[in-house]
Structure 1
Amino acid sequence: MVSLGYISEIWNKYEDPRTAGKFLMENPPTRFFGFIISYVLFIHFGPTLMKKRKPFELKLVKSVYNIFQIVINGYYGLYGLYYVFLTHNYNYSCPSLAIGNDEYAQTIAHLGHIYFLSKLWDLFDTIFIILKKNDRQLSFLHCYHHMFMAFATYFIMKFYIDTSFCLVAVINALIHSCMYFYYFLTTQNSEVKKSITWKKHITHIQMLQFTVLSIHFLRPVFNTECNRPKVWDIFMSLQILFILYMFIQFYIKTYLVKKNSNKKKF
């Protein structure tokens, strides 16, 4: 059995010194994994515990939460866009690893850590779903997407933070800012929540996001002059394509199949 001491030794040996010691980046990674295990247990037991209880009224809590998400994602996305892509020469066909102690590399690591924490904050979406007993929203796609983003950002921050990850973070943050603006509107106006158009557009931009990011990670793979680790880019592109596939399946099931079934009723 692998001991915590062995894991800590591996973590210390290969960790990125720029993120060592930051919040939830400590060795051994007991606090991070404890957080994730608690999340998984709540997903498993939460619906059962809520079965005989009334749904929680979380309008005020969700409104504050959504506003915070709009602000933090909007700020991060715009600042990251300006700093990483507008003030520096970003190479889209072979992104820089940005490894070192210079200001640029340190800023990349700092921005990445903020993004990592925001992905843990996103897990509260699942908690709200369970507390409000919206079981239909508790899908495999929802849980997998949130879990993957939490794990991926943790390991990237711990071992391999580079500029290509910043592109993921910037695009994702800007889209999340729009998405949480929609969620905020639904807490204020029930008619917005009933609008299929809003939901479809949110799904459209999410699918567009994963399409762009999958292409972005595949470009260095086919660039023979790029010396980035190919295995890493292939892994990320495959994971993103898998999530895109699930979003497409969700889109077909939610908007195309239901639309056709409604037509047949008439």
Structure 2
Amino acid sequence: MSAEAEMADVCWLFFFSKVIDMIDTVFFVLRKKNNQLTFLHIFHHSTMVFNWWLGVKYVPGGQSFFCAMLNSLVHVVMYSYYLLSSLGAWIQPYLWWKRYLTQFQIVQFVLIVIHISYGHYNNCDFPSTLSVVLALYCLTLLVFFSHFYIQAYLRKSKKLS
């Protein structure tokens, strides 16, 4: 099997992980955990399923692989945080790094936009229109996650001062 075919297979697996993330949102709804259902959460999880379906159907492989790899790393860190936080109150003092997790998510979108832009302007074998759409989508996520970060961490710390 070629490296490109292996990367395409990994992208399909990543797509299924996005479906699982969306199912997580369905469980929030069923359990009436409305405090966890923000616009950002619903928008992000619902659009990721659609975007990744497009990606794995039409352009699996190299360009898509980078985004999947980076997002998987972010999710490993994020779900590690959630696992640790579920262990109880005794571990809360050690979970000081939540805000850095959000910063990591923001950096991820910046890196993906740079990656897409580099490929677009260097005539990478990736549809030009899709490059533009994905870059705009990631910029949208960058704005939404940055807004969340400002509301959750910067405005909160000003109120405490």
The two structures have a TM-score, normalised by structure 2, of: 0.89
Alignment of 1:225-264 (within 5 A): 225-226=123-124, 228-263=126-161
User: Per the alignment, in what secondary structure is the counterpart of residue 117 of structure 1?
Assistant: helix
Give the Cα separation in 1 of the matches to 2:95 and 2:83. Answer: 16
Q: How far apart are 1:158 and its partner, in Å? A: 1.5
Letter in 2 for 1:153: W
Letter in 2 for 1:145: H
Q: Does 1:112 align with 2:15?
A: no
Q: Which residue of 2 aligns with 1:57?
A: none
Give the structure with higher Rg (CA).
1
For residues 198-245 of structure 1, give each alpha carbon's deviation from its aligned partner in whole angstroms, at most 9, with x where no partner exists: 32011011111111001110112222x545422111111110010010
Over 3 Å counting, the alpha-carbon distance change for 1:218 and 1:192 in structure 2 is farther
Higher alpha-carbon deviation: 143-152 or 117-126: 117-126
Q: Does 1:162 align with 2:58?
A: no
Letter in 2 for 1:147: S
Give the Cα separation in 2 of the matches to 1:178 and 1:130. Answer: 24
Q: How far apart are 1:132 and its partner, in Å? A: 4.7
Give the Cα separation in 2 of the matches to 1:254 and 1:132. Answer: 24
Q: How far apart are 1:106 and its partner, in Å? A: 2.1
State the identity %. Answer: 31
- Structure 1: gaps spanning 5 or more residues: 1-101
Q: How far apart are 1:105 and its partner, in Å? A: 2.7
Aligned counterpart for 1:121 among listed residues 15, 20, 37: 20
Q: How far apart are 1:193 and its partner, in Å? A: 5.3
Tell me the number of residue pairs that the alignment of Structure 1 and Structure 2 aligns: 161
User: Per the alignment, in what secondary structure is the counterpart of residue 123 of structure 1?
Assistant: helix
Q: How far apart are 1:135 and its partner, in Å? A: 2.1
Q: How far apart are 1:192 and its partner, in Å? A: 4.4
Over 3 Å counting, the alpha-carbon distance change for 1:103 and 1:231 in structure 2 is same
Q: Does 1:217 align with 2:102?
A: no
Letter in 2 for 1:151: F
Q: Which residue of 1 aligns with 2:76?
A: 177
The two structures have a TM-score, normalised by structure 1, of: 0.56
Q: How far apart are 1:128 and its partner, in Å? A: 4.0
